[in-house]
Amino acid sequence: MTAHATETDIDRVRQKIESLGFRAHIMPGAQKTAIGITGNPGPIDPAEFEDLPGVAEAIRVSKPYKLVSREVKSEDSIINVRGVPVGGPELVFCGGPCSVESREQILESARAVKAAGGQLLRGGAYKPRTSPYSFQGLGEEGLKLLAEAREATGLGIVTEAIDVETFELVEEYADCVQIGARNMQNFSLLRRAGRSRKPILLKRGMSSTLEEFLMAAEYVLSEGNYQVILCERGVRTFTDHTRNTLDLSVVPAVQGLSHLPIIVDPSHGTGKRDKVHPMALASIAAGASGLLVEVHPTPDRALSDGYQSLYPEQFLEVVKDCRAIAALLAHRRNRQQAYA
């Protein structure tokens, strides 16, 4: 739609799409509203829409992913997580432990994240673990502790849902629901996330291509939830000096193809505490909108992922140095946003 299109213009287009038996996806942007169409079995003649008032242009999307593509929406999407804009000019730092372990642990983590200048708190209450004998998370008790930490600090909560059965409970407490790497192609979970009113943090599968990653996001948008944040967290390769290989070139690649914001998780992306700071800096230099970082008050005693978790003072350094990198490269970031 044009920047001057009215609500009535937008609604007229929606009605027209629905009268044809298709689904209209209305995605407002800072300047213009984009309207995607799905459910059409074949091509639609753009002329059907081009002459309606307020329509700037009607485009056939050439990519297999439709709603996530820049063809449908040229402006960057900014996802609001409890008042924190993700994908805007400000970097977003989401820190916290891999798992919620106790009241003391999560409150201490939350205070440390806040003191370092982080805006969001992460922590898993339901954990996808390789071994069924490893700590599986505190479940609802963990969600309640996260809510307490939010109450105490004002930080928004990012926490993972690992299955459809517990999704409703997780979304009740979370400000943003994480879908983990192992579940990136759990299509029923993605569809459930698409029916949620909470933003979704979608992590890249450990062996997924860029197209598979964007198609997974498309599942969520196709159900009507347009609030998706993508997260690169490393992929499996032959290297053994790190747990995963952080694929930072996916950041500009995503930005070229999609309007969705992308952040980076250098904790799972490296699996080693001493590699987190350098790769965090590289992520921001590559243009990421923010970071997801594991932080623990006593990493040596963590019940999961302690070896990759930062001490609070290390997280503070990460935030400070990343902001310095972003300030140095502000001219580039602004140019990218203007280009979008």
Applying CB under 6 A, which residues contact ligand PEP? 98, 124, 128, 180-182, 203, 233, 268
* Shortest-Cβ-distance residue relative to ligand PEP: 180
Give me the least distance between CB of 247 and Mn ion, in Å please: 18
Q: Which residues contact 172 (CB under 8 A, 6 or more apart)?
A: 143
Residue 96's binding partner out of Mn ion, ligand PEP, none, with CB under 5 to 8 Å set by partner kind: none
Which segments of 195-272 does DSSP mark as H helices, in order? 210-222, 250-257, 266-270
Taking a C-beta distance cutoff of 8 angstroms, is the pair 211, 235 a contact?
no
Q: Which does 128 bind (CB under 5 to 8 A by kind): Mn ion, ligand PEP, none?
A: ligand PEP
179 binds Mn ion (CB under 5 A): no
For Mn ion, the closer of residues 234 and 287 by Cβ is 234
Q: Which residues lie across from 263 on neighbouring strands?
A: 231
Nearer to Mn ion among residue 100 and residue 250 (C-beta): 100
C-beta closer to Mn ion: residue 101 or 223: 101
Q: Which does 180 bind (CB under 5 to 8 A by kind): ligand PEP, Mn ion, none?
A: ligand PEP
Burial (CB count <10 Å: 0-12, 13-18, 19+), residue 75: middle
Q: Quick one: 180 or 312, whose CB is closer to ligand PEP?
A: 180
> E strands, 69-155, where?
79-81, 84-86, 92-96, 120-122
Q: How far is the CB of 105 from Mn ion (least distance, A)?
A: 14
| Binder of residue 82, out of ligand PEP, Mn ion, none (CB less than 5 to 8 A by kind) | none
> What is the distance between the alpha carbons of residues 123 and 121, in angstroms, rounded to a whole number?
7
Write down the least CB distance from residue 316 to Mn ion, Å.
20
**Please, which residue, 215 or 279, has the CB nearer to Mn ion?**
279
Q: Regarding beta strands 200-203 and 176-179, do their DSSP bridges make them parallel or antiparallel, or are they unpaired?
A: parallel
DSSP string, 198-247: S-EEEEPPTT--HHHHHHHHHHHHHTT---EEEEE--B--S--SSSSB--
Look up residue 179 and give its DSSP letter. E
Query: From residue 256 to residue 295, what is the string marking binding to Mn ion with x (rule CB under 5 A)?
Result: ----------------------------------------
- Whether residue 86 contacts residue 77, with contact meaning beta carbons closer than 8 Å, is answered with no
Binding to Mn ion by CB under 5 A, coded x per residue (else -) over 207-226, reads --------------------
State how far the Cα of 25 lies from the Cα of 47, in Å rounded to an integer.
19
Site for Mn ion in 39-98 (CB under 5 A): 98
